[in-house]
Amino acid sequence: MPRPVTLFTGQWADLPLEVMAEKAASFGYDGLELACWGDHFEVDKALEDDSYVKSRWDILEKHGLKCFAISTHLIGQCVCDHPIDERHKGIVPARIWGDGDPEGVRQRAAEEVKNTARAAAKFGVKVVNGFTGSKIWHVLAGFPPVPPQMIEDGYKDFADRWNPIIDVFDAVGVKFALEVHPSEIAYDFWTTQRALEAIGRREGFGVNFDPSHLYWQMVDPVEFVYEFGDRIYHMHVKESVRVFNGRNGVLASHLPFGNPKRGWDFVSPGRGGVPFERVFRALNAVGYAGPLSVEWEDSGMNREQGAPEALQLVRKLDLVPSDVAFDAAFASEK
């Protein structure tokens, strides 16, 4: 059977869930990956009111849609981040920001991620996608010189903060999937390996695989799948393009998305360089049977053109594995 194709609602959170579900169904999607912002899935309401959980499923089922995961990227970012500043204030609810004291924000964010696991279990999904933040992302440039112990402390901080969170995930039967992404504790191949080791490779903590973030860093997403296949709990179908013309750099020069001076940008799936067919074949090889969730981002394209186009790309390139060797027919009968 083909894998279900869902649409991540994070970039559509300006729309009520009812409107979003109607659109996704009209495009032909099998389901939605619900963002925990906007009105799509509100963790506090889900825990306080059984009728709220039912209301989310009522909307989905009305439009023939399924849900396999919810996502808490914005809150998760605050758990480990340093510094905590006005950027974070702009993405979290007032109840998480509080008085803005950095450690208070981190602690409240951690409790909210735990509650997200509880809400996911109540909602009936087995995966929560999100970010972790990072105490050491800000030292990426390596200057002023970074003492090795500072990096070690960053991974220890991550483990100290996330192990108690994953304890709750384990207790309720839900898994957390970190979207490997610049600004997180794991942002490429080697940092993913190191983060998994730091947390003891426990099964409750895995990966939301997004090839777009690897591709623009010139990391092969196919190699990533083969190495970390047992920890890929969810996938984002997202696309990026590299434009290295001798002037544009890989660090994007503090330029906003859509600026032609950037060395890379997000584009609609199929319009960049991610080798999606090779990626889907690799996912088949490692046994990934979960959803393929389109996370649509493209500053130069209307999302209502891009989302249905992305769906058609996935339908075309996602291959159902053969249950017979193609050369079996060559064998003579015995």
| pLDDT tens readout for residues 230-288 | 999 999 999 999 999 999 999 999 999 999 999 999 999 999 999 999 999 999 999 99
Structure confidence by residue, pLDDT tens digits, 204-229: 999 999 999 999 999 999 999 999 99
**DSSP-H helix ranges across 173-268:** 189-198, 211-215, 221-228
pLDDT at 329 over 80: no
Measured CA angle at 183 (ends 181, 188), to 5 deg: 40
Q: Which residue has the higher pLDDT, 1 or 171?
A: 171
pLDDT at 321 over 90: no
Structure confidence by residue, pLDDT tens digits, 58-68: 999 999 999 99
pLDDT band at 334 (very low <50, low <70, confident <90, very high): low
Residue partners of 100: CB distance under 8 A and separation at least 6: 84, 89
- 15-37 mean pLDDT: 98
Structure confidence by residue, pLDDT tens digits, 287-303: 999 999 999 999 999 99
Measured CA angle at 208 (ends 206, 209), to 5 deg: 115
pLDDT band at 98 (very low <50, low <70, confident <90, very high): very high
- Residue 35 is given by DSSP the state E
- Residue 323: the pLDDT is 75
Write down the mean pLDDT value for the chain: 96
pLDDT band at 319 (very low <50, low <70, confident <90, very high): confident
pLDDT at 132 over 80: yes
pLDDT band at 325 (very low <50, low <70, confident <90, very high): confident
- 106-110 mean pLDDT: 98
pLDDT band at 333 (very low <50, low <70, confident <90, very high): low
- 29-33 mean pLDDT: 98
Residue in 165, 71, 78 with CA at minimum distance from that of residue 115 = 165
208: left (phi over 0), alpha (psi -120 to 50) or beta: beta
> What is the total count of domains within the chain?
1
Residue in 269, 272, 279 with CA at minimum distance from that of residue 220 = 279
Give the Cα separation of 199 and 312 in Å (integer). Answer: 38
Which residue segment(s) compose the domain that 166 sits in? Answer: 5-330
CATH of the domain at 206: 3.20.20.150
- Residue 332: the pLDDT is 66
pLDDT at 326 over 80: no
- Residue 330: the pLDDT is 74
Task: Give the β-pairing of 175-179 and 205-209.
Answer: parallel
